[in-house]
Chains A and B, each alone.
Chain A
């Protein structure tokens, strides 16, 4: 294939795109809906994953030590905990830090601060905050901390181990299973939704080309090769996808901006507007790419039916 042929194919595709303006408009509209659904799927996935990760992060187990416990002993337990594979991180808050945090938290509460003054000494205990890989591992970690503490017959230095109480854990477990099934169900729903919109896009393009079936026959009869007939239709289909992709990306800009602050406060931190802007290249690739590939394949298949003479 030479340069002149390529030029002719592109020119024919562009001209048809322009001269069949209404058909182009309708096809672009339908494709935009498809690409919009694809984009929303990406956003939904990000939201869900982020929310679950965030909730998991908020759960930890705190080990409080008697005020008389020397720091070396606490740090010893800290490294023992850190050595365990299910532990992600262990944070240490000394008594002084705990006091500072208390003062900071109650800086507007004169009564609490007064009570602290009256005590004359720091009543707060040092603590370790242990974060595990999975919610179900906290019980075992708490047990381990207790056992490790009294190992070799030493006097207990741990005052109490608090992980979120039973009710909270039940709620968390339930949330986890809801999140899991939402992920599974969501995947099915989204798969169906995407398949449906792709089918609609496909059919729209087929209808657009159906109206050209007589033309395709004439082109064959005046001696045009199959590729020479098919290629401009593919260019047209790719143009639909390209324009629909740009329209979709453009639509997401005000939409995510509008939803940005709302999602940030609701989902605990993730702002979809900044996510969109930061990952724009990925969105561009996926949405425009999907549109162009979809347009090309749909046109290729649709024209094939009329090329059999």
Chain B
């Protein structure tokens, strides 16, 4: 469903972020991308969200070349991909409820859907009692769970989680990973980037290892080996 075809990214100062990367992701997979900081994990994810353009090669999502899509149709494509970031990226002037509702409003969902689905996903991430809190009134772990709720509320085909546990303590890390696993069990494809060895080793799922912009390992049931 997702296919990276010989993707390279070279920045203006000639630093190489990605070099000739090719791999594909099947529906329902849970894949982890690991590597040191600067290995190119985040660049890889940004390509999928069309935040960055590749210098060479292409990225396909369900046979659509993402970087040939006009800006006006980008929203439609992005709504099929839920995103979770290391720094949560919630809208600071909106409550937890409104943050999630915004993603649904952006997709043109009805008020009735919003009234029923938002509390439901907030219950799912165990935040039913904090739906009217603003992000700065929530802990890091709680904010990340709101972000996950926002990512899943439109029932996307794939969830991209870029270092979602990077700012969290071990207990919250465990919870976030459990939630992602649960979502994957329900059939959603997950792409997770991390440099947390414990997370990878406990998952026992496919692992792509990157180093200096290249894919150096791709294991079916991998471990964190670097």
Q: Which A residues lie at the B interface, using CB under 8 A?
A: 4-5, 8, 15-16, 19-20, 214-215, 218-226, 228, 307-309
Tell whether, in the assembled complex, residue A220 and residue B89 are in contact, meaning their CB atoms are under 8 Å apart. no
Chain A's closest residue to B160 (CB) is: A221
Tell whether, in the assembled complex, residue A223 and residue B105 are in contact, meaning their CB atoms are under 8 Å apart. no
Q: For the complex formed, measure the closest distance between the CB of B49 and the CB atoms of chain A, giving whole angstroms.
A: 6
Tell whether, in the assembled complex, residue A219 and residue B106 are in contact, meaning their CB atoms are under 8 Å apart. yes
Tell me the bound Cα distance from A16 to B92 in angstroms: 11
Q: Which of B75, B92, B110, B154 contacts A225 (CB 8 A)?
A: B75
- Inter-chain contacts of B89 with A (CB < 8 A): 214, 218, 221
Tell me the bound Cα distance from A307 to B102 in angstroms: 17
Tell whether, in the assembled complex, residue B106 and residue A221 are in contact, meaning their CB atoms are under 8 Å apart. no
B79 an interface residue at 8 Å Cβ cutoff?
A: yes
Q: Give the tally of cross-chain contacts (CB within 8 A).
A: 62
3 smallest CB-CB distances across A and B, nearest first, come from A223-B79, A224-B106, A223-B78
Tell whether, in the assembled complex, residue A220 and residue B75 are in contact, meaning their CB atoms are under 8 Å apart. yes
Tell me the bound Cα distance from A5 to B107 in angstroms: 10
Q: Which B residues lie at the A interface, using CB under 8 A?
A: 49-51, 71-72, 74-79, 83, 89-94, 102-103, 105-108, 110-111, 150, 154
Tell whether, in the assembled complex, residue B106 and residue A20 are in contact, meaning their CB atoms are under 8 Å apart. no
Tell whether, in the assembled complex, residue B150 and residue A222 are in contact, meaning their CB atoms are under 8 Å apart. yes
Tell whether, in the assembled complex, residue A215 and residue B91 are in contact, meaning their CB atoms are under 8 Å apart. yes
Tell me the bound Cα distance from A4 to B90 in angstroms: 23
- Inter-chain contacts of B92 with A (CB < 8 A): 215
- Inter-chain contacts of B102 with A (CB < 8 A): 219, 222, 224
A-B contact pairs, 11 of them (CB 8 A): A8-B105, A215-B91, A219-B91, A221-B51, A221-B78, A221-B89, A222-B78, A223-B107, A223-B154, A228-B75, A308-B71
Q: Which of B74, B107, B154 contacts A220 (CB 8 A)?
A: B74
Tell whether, in the assembled complex, residue B111 and residue A309 are in contact, meaning their CB atoms are under 8 Å apart. no
- Inter-chain contacts of B106 with A (CB < 8 A): 219, 222-225, 228
Chain A's closest residue to B79 (CB) is: A223
Q: For the complex formed, measure the closest distance between the CB of A170 and the CB atoms of chain B, giving whole angstroms.
A: 67
Chain B's closest residue to A224 (CB) is: B106
Chain B CB within 10 Å, residue with most, of A20, A215, A218, A307: A218
Chain A's closest residue to B150 (CB) is: A222
Chain B's closest residue to A218 (CB) is: B89
Tell whether, in the assembled complex, residue A223 and residue B75 are in contact, meaning their CB atoms are under 8 Å apart. yes
- Inter-chain contacts of A225 with B (CB < 8 A): 72, 75, 106
Tell whether, in the assembled complex, residue B50 and residue A4 are in contact, meaning their CB atoms are under 8 Å apart. no
Chain B's closest residue to A222 (CB) is: B103
Tell whether, in the assembled complex, residue B71 and residue A226 are in contact, meaning their CB atoms are under 8 Å apart. yes
Chain A's closest residue to B81 (CB) is: A223
Tell me the bound Cα distance from A46 to B39 in angstroms: 70
Chain B CB within 10 Å, residue with most, of A8, A221, A223, A225: A223
Tell whether, in the assembled complex, residue A223 and residue B51 are in contact, meaning their CB atoms are under 8 Å apart. no
Tell whether, in the assembled complex, residue B72 and residue A221 are in contact, meaning their CB atoms are under 8 Å apart. no
- Inter-chain contacts of B75 with A (CB < 8 A): 220, 223-226, 228
Tell me the bound Cα distance from A287 to B7 in angstroms: 55
Tell whether, in the assembled complex, residue B103 and residue A223 are in contact, meaning their CB atoms are under 8 Å apart. yes
- Inter-chain contacts of B110 with A (CB < 8 A): 4
Tell whether, in the assembled complex, residue B93 and residue A15 are in contact, meaning their CB atoms are under 8 Å apart. yes
Q: Which of B76, B83, B94, B107 contacts A221 (CB 8 A)?
A: B83
Chain B's closest residue to A212 (CB) is: B93
Q: For the complex formed, measure the closest distance between the CB of B180 and the CB atoms of chain A, giving whole angstroms.
A: 18
- Inter-chain contacts of B111 with A (CB < 8 A): 4
- Inter-chain contacts of B71 with A (CB < 8 A): 226, 307-308
Q: For the complex formed, measure the closest distance between the CB of A246 and the CB atoms of chain B, giving whole angstroms.
A: 25
Tell me the bound Cα distance from A226 to B73 in angstroms: 10
Besides A222-B150, A309-B50, 20 more A-B contacts (Cβ < 8 Å) are A4-B110, A15-B94, A20-B93, A215-B91, A215-B93, A219-B102, A220-B75, A220-B78, A221-B49, A221-B83, A221-B89, A223-B75, A223-B77, A224-B102, A224-B103, A225-B72, A228-B105, A228-B106, A307-B71, A308-B71
Tell whether, in the assembled complex, residue B91 and residue A223 are in contact, meaning their CB atoms are under 8 Å apart. no
Q: For the complex formed, measure the closest distance between the CB of B14 and the CB atoms of chain A, giving whole angstroms.
A: 24
Tell me the bound Cα distance from A138 to B104 in angstroms: 79
Tell me the bound Cα distance from A20 to B72 in angstroms: 29
Tell me the bound Cα distance from A309 to B108 in angstroms: 20
Q: For the complex formed, measure the closest distance between the CB of B154 and the CB atoms of chain A, giving whole angstroms.
A: 7
Tell whether, in the assembled complex, residue B93 and residue A226 are in contact, meaning their CB atoms are under 8 Å apart. no
Q: Which of A4, A222, A307 contacts B83 (CB 8 A)?
A: A222
Tell me the bound Cα distance from A151 to B123 in angstroms: 109
Q: For the complex formed, measure the closest distance between the CB of B223 and the CB atoms of chain A, giving whole angstroms.
A: 31
